[in-house]
Chains A and B, each alone.
Chain A
Amino acid sequence: MILVVAEQRGGALNRASWEAIVCAQQAAAGEPIAIAVPGGGEAARLLAESGVGDVLSLEHEALAAYSPDVQVAAVAQAIALTTPRLVVMAHTYQARDYAPMLAARLRAPLVADVIGVKGSGPSATFLRPMFQGKLVAEVSPQGTGPAIVSCQIGAFRADAVVKGAPGAVRVVPVAIDAPSRQTVEAPFQEARQAVDLGQAERIVAVGRGIKAQDQIAVAEKLAAAMGAEMAASRPICDNGWLPMDRQVGSSGQTVAPKLYVALGISGAIQHLVGMKGSRTIVAINKDADAPIFEVADYGIVGDLFEIVPALTAELEKPR
């Protein structure tokens, strides 16, 4: 017997579960395959319809949202019920989270991130990458109990799944004895979109000449008056005065706005490669020999703390 643990979220089956089934089918030598679906629902029905094996819908209200403790308890019960030789799952974020705990709980070997199966039946071995894929290790799980295998996403082709006659879903209520040690919070939301300076039409960039973090406000006022995005050269972001995603240059973003205003930026080549494609470059710097003036269309040699407020005031005048 091989047990596949499928993954679903809000009833929708994770596509990678099909790949885990393909992996199981390759490793099986005519053995039956069962599929456990923690949380059951629509995903369980879909799997039963495809006839890939007996479908066990593991049900408990705590399985509505994923937490590792509950997941391990539920899957362990499905394993106890089916006594499989192999437990196969896709190497998803969930599997990375709970598979080691499950393996430790059952004292079972875990072969993670498998990219292929060699042979089939009890003598089958599993291939997994080492050294960032420079070597492939051939792993043979040892021991008498079940071995746990997680397969790398995309390593098995979901469309290679062998389907059969539709079957029924067997509902397996699971018992969760101990309360989960994890509290489930609202699902993670994608963080605020990182700033894409590449799209900005106007950019005000500050460099070392700004001298102190609290003086960045001087440049920010100018940026606000111009409707420009703020950017910076490396030292500013290194100091944490502006976030890393505002850095322009070889280790930051490459930009080509219509207008690029460089304040107190000397123009190290590492910065220039990130902005020299700008249509119009304005540089304000105390040092007349600064290399920024070699790429600037307009340059002002002087103290930015005098010039910038004057520029801002002029721009803010009602027209």
Chain B
Amino acid sequence: MTRETLEVDVLIVGGGPAGLSAAIRLSQLVKARGGEPLSIAVLEKAREAGAHLLSGAVLDLSALKDLLPDYEALGAPLLAPVGRERVYFLTEHRALRAPVIPPPLANHGNALISLNQFGRWLAAQAEAGGIDLFTGFAGQEVLLDGSRVIGVRTGDRGRGKHGESKPTFEAGVDIHAKVTIFCDGVRGNLTKQLHRRLAIGAGREPEQYAIGIKELWEVPAGRIETGTVMHTLGHPLRHEEFGGGFIYALPDRMVSLGLVIGLDYHDPVFDPHVAFNRFKRHPLLTRLLDGGRLVRYGAKALPEGGWNTVPRTHLDGALIAGDAAGFVNSVRLKGIHLAMRTGMLAAETAFEAIAAGDTSAAALAAYQTRVDASAVRRELEPVRSVHQAFGHGLVPGLLYAGAAMVTRGRWLPDLQQAPGHRRMRTLRWYYGIEMASPAASRAVPPDRLLTFDKLTNVHFSGTAHDEDQPVHLLVHTEVCSSICGPEYGHPCTRFCPANVYEIIRETGAAPRLQINASNCVHCKTCDIMDPYGVITWVPPEGGGGPQYTGM
């Protein structure tokens, strides 16, 4: 089969804050230089810009101010300045308010945003700068020539359930670029290929992740003041589980709330969605939500490993920016500004390299120099091992985080932690007993007013995929009933927040895994957390996925 090819100067994979900031920065550099324009393309798997973006979110404005100084005149959708700030430690029934706001959580001067709206706005700025934004096209495969990245192959369209081509079949296109900037987000499928094929993580600490589950609610008037930012620790998580909750009060009685949970928990029957429901049943939340209405639901993994887990981000012909490389400050719960900043630095590096006619890894190493000299390193290096410290429990984690703050990271040891999915214990190890079909730990039945089952929640994510296409979750199902069931009790049915994995038990047959791929909200948790590493998330046909309006 011959494929169409498209030659561009710079290919950016992923239309999130990193990719779009890179695109905008490039268009600015080209415009400032004048002369021959560069051809720049952005691939985005969502049908429209921003539809797959989900975050809290409180935006640190530093990168935006540098990228688009007149962002206010350009109508940046900043929903509200951060006002009242609260930090609570939750027990099952009580909320203990922290007397002072720990400095990393101080958000004065930052703005509440919906990342979905913000992404859509950034995309409009990029398009105004002459960037070609290909929405509805997923990057399927990295194209390599030896160790040089020469571009990306987009996914085929119009394949049926069994891979056969339908009348609408259109083969993916090979996009060749002098420089490819990978901004494919947390656990990006292409960056994962770079890990495998070019060992970009060699010599670095293993990546660490968390899952964030979020809902958007409309609450009765007078419940909470717009701009209020609350963070919680403790309930519903136990000391052995890393994470916390957030509640952000947006304008028009909208409230964004969520729970972030480290994907390095031990309990094999722990279910993040159950924890989220238990979080919502806490009096702090019920007081806020009673009589309100669920508007949107979503989930997304986030990279939490920090500075020491960032892989090699400059390769022959390629750079990696944003969540794909793990540029997130898990102590401040912020990554959007770092994604934007690294996207901008990648753009500057790519621009210079193309002008000089040398896009080798050696030339692109200037990206590393730029990141090292920037606020990104100043922010991330001092807290480089905080997530790993929480791996020893809540109290050691808090102590380490406090020490990192005081010493600005100096004299502190670099802590190590095995990849999170290897920290899950077997049922026998954790509970000391065998279980045939274990239920999720501490589950509460959803009341369908405040708490919902996963399937109902998925409906509120707006997720849709063409049903007649190959399953985009590649699973070695032979381990399911033979090993995984007895050892871990099919944890995929619990860590997936969208009911994609279901075990069908029919009399007279071994339990069988059914993959409801069209429920997938593209959070990547399964690719990260399955204890055997046998689940591979690949992009479904472009355009499919969640519809995160306002998230």
Which residues of A does B touch, CB under 8 Å?
130-132, 134-135, 238, 244, 250-251, 268-270, 273, 289, 291, 294
Binding-face segment, B131-139, B259-267, B375-383? B131-139
Q: In the complex, what distance in Å separates the CA atom of A84 from the CA atom of B166?
A: 34
What A residues does B464 contact at CB under 8 A? 250-251
Query: Are A270 and B455 in contact, with the CB atoms below 8 A?
Result: yes
**21 A–B pairs (Cβ distance < 8 Å), ordered by A:** A130-B4, A131-B134, A131-B173, A132-B136, A132-B157, A132-B170, A134-B132, A135-B6, A135-B132, A238-B514, A238-B516, A250-B459, A251-B464, A251-B518, A268-B456, A269-B455, A269-B456, A270-B458, A273-B459, A291-B448, A294-B448
**Closest CB in chain A relative to B127 CB, distance in Å:** 12
**Closest CB in chain A relative to B546 CB, distance in Å:** 14
Number of interface residues of B (CB under 8 A): 20
**Closest CB in chain A relative to B190 CB, distance in Å:** 18
Max chain B C-beta neighbours (<10 A), residue from A135, A238, A268, A269: A269
B467 touches which of A251, A268, A291 (Cβ 8 Å): A251
Q: In the complex, what distance in Å separates the CA atom of A275 from the CA atom of B459?
A: 15
What A residues does B137 contact at CB under 8 A? 131
Q: A251-B518, A268-B459 are in contact. List 4 more A-B contacts (CB 8 A).
A: A131-B137, A132-B170, A251-B464, A289-B445
Considering only residues 416-466 of chain B, those with a C-beta below 8 Å from chain A are 445, 448, 455-456, 458-459, 464
Max chain A C-beta neighbours (<10 A), residue from B157, B445, B459: B459
What A residues does B459 contact at CB under 8 A? 250, 268-270, 273
What B residues does A251 contact at CB under 8 A? 464, 467, 518
**Closest CB in chain B relative to A203 CB, distance in Å:** 21
Q: In the complex, what distance in Å separates the CA atom of A134 from the CA atom of B170?
A: 14
What A residues does B516 contact at CB under 8 A? 238
Q: In the complex, what distance in Å separates the CA atom of A269 from the CA atom of B137?
A: 29
What B residues does A130 contact at CB under 8 A? 4, 6, 173
What B residues does A131 contact at CB under 8 A? 134, 137, 173
**Closest CB in chain A relative to B266 CB, distance in Å:** 32
Q: In the complex, what distance in Å separates the CA atom of A273 from the CA atom of B4?
A: 41
What B residues does A244 contact at CB under 8 A? 467
**Closest CB in chain B relative to A152 CB, distance in Å:** 14
Q: In the complex, what distance in Å separates the CA atom of A286 from the CA atom of B97?
A: 46
Closest to B132 in A: A135
Considering only residues 157-174 of chain B, those with a C-beta below 8 Å from chain A are 157, 170, 173
**Closest CB in chain B relative to A283 CB, distance in Å:** 16
**Closest CB in chain A relative to B186 CB, distance in Å:** 26
What B residues does A273 contact at CB under 8 A? 459
What B residues does A291 contact at CB under 8 A? 448
What B residues does A270 contact at CB under 8 A? 455, 458-459
Q: In the complex, what distance in Å separates the CA atom of A211 from the CA atom of B518?
A: 22
Closest to A270 in B: B459
Q: In the complex, what distance in Å separates the CA atom of A294 from the CA atom of B456?
A: 14
**Closest CB in chain A relative to B50 CB, distance in Å:** 17
What B residues does A289 contact at CB under 8 A? 445
Closest to B453 in A: A268
What A residues does B157 contact at CB under 8 A? 132
Closest to B519 in A: A270
Q: In the complex, what distance in Å separates the CA atom of A134 from the CA atom of B49?
A: 14
Q: In the complex, what distance in Å separates the CA atom of A238 from the CA atom of B515?
A: 11
B142-184 near A? 1/0 per residue, CB < 8 Å: 0000000000000001000000000000100100000000000
Q: In the complex, what distance in Å separates the CA atom of A269 from the CA atom of B458?
A: 9
Max chain A C-beta neighbours (<10 A), residue from B132, B136, B170, B467: B467
Q: In the complex, what distance in Å separates the CA atom of A135 from the CA atom of B41?
A: 11
Query: Are B6 and A268 in contact, with the CB atoms below 8 A?
Result: no
What A residues does B467 contact at CB under 8 A? 244, 251
